[in-house]
């Protein structure tokens, strides 16, 4: 049986995985970046099939996993990894993975939830996310250090109140989660906040990124990110 995951090599240090058989609405990007002293995994997909066996790291090298926010398509496999970091403001909810926080309940009745069954008898109605208590909490200004590069944590609410992103100020590499990505931005979930999203977009207009890897869609450069942010501001009341 073909792998549940697809894999794309971005460059010598970066690999992107995704779940091609999952409904496009919850088909998120999973980013693996190799660092000198530690590797970084940004988000963990739906958790329908085990992710950890797909992530190749040298024996003994730490793998820090960062959840950019607590929504189902970004935290499904978080429990599989020992070093789990995520937003400080929602840390307590990672201990239970309450469906009110993850929106896992939305997947139960999603028409066409998967285009291929991951296992015989699998049903989206049975989908659950195991608890994954954070071993590190992250907030605005914190630093994630891989040895040869450091990422500044940015708190960028709007899509969700707890959305964070990782920005390498030295070379402009940006893991944006769902704060911004090159696809239709979602700002109408129960915990979305359009006023906060407007502030986030205005902040991103001045962020000097070289390349952005988002939670969905293709990667983007700084020019494209400013186009996405400007378009959002233009179509949103008060923007």
What pLDDT is attached to residue 239? 46
Q: What is the pLDDT of residues 3-43, one digit of tens each?
A: 999 999 999 999 999 999 999 999 999 999 999 999 999 99
Q: Which contacts (CB < 8 Å, 24+ apart) does range 231-238 have?
A: 232/185, 232/197, 232/198, 232/201, 233/198, 233/201, 233/202, 236/187, 236/194, 236/197, 236/198, 237/194, 238/194, 238/195, 238/198
Closest CA to 44 of 62, 14, 68: 68
Main-chain phi, psi angles of 6, to 5 degrees: -105, 155
State the sign of the Cα–Cα–Cα–Cα dihedral 203, 205, 210, 212.
Answer: positive
Residue 212 corresponds to which tokens in the numbers above? 């952005």
* C-alpha distances out from residue 127 to 77, 90, 103, 124, 130, Å: 12, 21, 11, 5, 10
Question: What domains does the chain contain, in order, with CATH numbers?
Answer: 6-235 (3.60.15.10)
Average predicted confidence (pLDDT) for the chain: 96
Say what percent of the chain tops pLDDT 90. Answer: 93
Has residue 121 got a pLDDT over 50? yes
Spell 44-57 as b/e; 16+ CB within 10 A means b: bbbbbbebeebbee
**Residues 58-70 pLDDT 10s:** 889 999 999 999 9
Count of other CB atoms within 10 angstroms of residue 184: 10
- Answer yes or no: is pLDDT of 108 > 90: yes
Q: Give the model's pLDDT for residue 109.
A: 86
- At residue 115's C-alpha, the angle toward residues 130 and 189, to 5°, is 55
Whether this model's pTM surpasses 0.85: yes
pLDDT of residue 102: 97
What local confidence, expressed as pLDDT, does residue 1 receive?
Answer: 42
Predicted confidence band of residue 224 (pLDDT cuts 50, 70, 90): very high
Question: Average pLDDT of 202-220?
Answer: 97
Tokens in use for 87? 């937003």
């Amino acid at each position: 049986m073909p792998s549940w995951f697809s894999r794309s090599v971005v460059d010598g240090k970066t690999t992107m995985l995704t779940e091609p058989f999952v409904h496009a609405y919850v088909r998120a990007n999973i980013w693996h970046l190799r660092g000198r002293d530690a590797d970084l995994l940004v988000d963990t997909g739906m958790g329908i099939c085990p992710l950890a066996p797909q992530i190749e790291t040298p024996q003994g090298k730490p793998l820090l996993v960062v959840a950019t926010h607590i929504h189902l398509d970004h935290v499904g496999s978080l429990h599989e990894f020992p070093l789990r970091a995520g937003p400080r403001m929602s840390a307590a909810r990672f201990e239970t993975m309450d469906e009110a926080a993850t929106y896992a309940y939305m997947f139960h009745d999603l028409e066409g939830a998967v285009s291929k069954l991951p296992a015989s008898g699998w049903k989206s109605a049975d989908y659950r996310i195991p608890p994954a208590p954070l071993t590190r909490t992250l907030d605005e200004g914190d630093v994630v250090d891989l040895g040869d590069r450091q990422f500044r944590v940015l708190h960028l609410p709007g899509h969700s109140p707890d959305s964070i992103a990782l920005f390498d100020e030295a070379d402009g590499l940006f893991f944006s989660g769902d704060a911004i990505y090159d696809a239709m931005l979602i700002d109408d979930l129960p915990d979305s906040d359009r006023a906060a999203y407007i502030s986030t977009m205005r902040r991103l207009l001045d962020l000097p990124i070289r390349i952005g890897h988002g939670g969905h869609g293709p990667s983007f450069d700084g020019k494209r990110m400013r186009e996405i942010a400007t378009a959002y501001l233009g179509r949103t009341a008060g923007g």
